[in-house]
Amino acid sequence: MEEQAEMVGRAFVDHYYHLFDTDRASLSSLYQPSSMLSFEGQKLFGANDISSKLNQLPFDQCKHLISTIDSQPSSPSGGIVVFVSGSLQLPGEEYHLRFSQMFHLIPTPEGTFFVQNDIFRLNYG
């Protein structure tokens, strides 16, 4: 089960940040009405509010560079907790922004996963 969590976590991270960097509007498909996002301390609820926040960020393009991915099974029902650290490259910026992000993935009856919880923080210092 732990090996599957690692595999699913890595595949999810690859998919999530590819969409974020190339087609951010598509991220809404990964969230549900019950999903929650804490973005730099701001709490958002539901796929619509989360999608609006992500699409209104003050930059159109970016590139995520992932440093680490840690995944763990979260429950017997198949949930997975994924913790990501990395950096964010914005166009025209010399320095990368370090970040950490945690996802709690919940299985769907169709055999896929959705993001129930998402916590994002920039790492300063």
**Helix/strand/coil for 27:** helix
Task: Tell me the pLDDT tens digit for each residue of 58-75.
Answer: 887 889 999 999 999 998
- Whole-Å CA distances, 4 to 66, 106, 124: 20, 14, 33
The CATH number of the domain where 62 resides is what?
Answer: 3.10.450.50
**The pLDDT value given to residue 64:** 94
What pLDDT score does 87 carry?
Answer: 96
pLDDT, residue 108, reads: 93
The string of pLDDT tens digits covering residues 70-119 is 999 998 888 999 999 999 998 888 889 999 999 999 999 998 999 999 99
Which residue type, as a one-letter code, is found at position 27? L
Closest CA to 88 of 122, 54, 39: 122
Q: Which domain holds residue 25?
A: 1-122
Instruction: State the total domains in the chain.
Output: 1
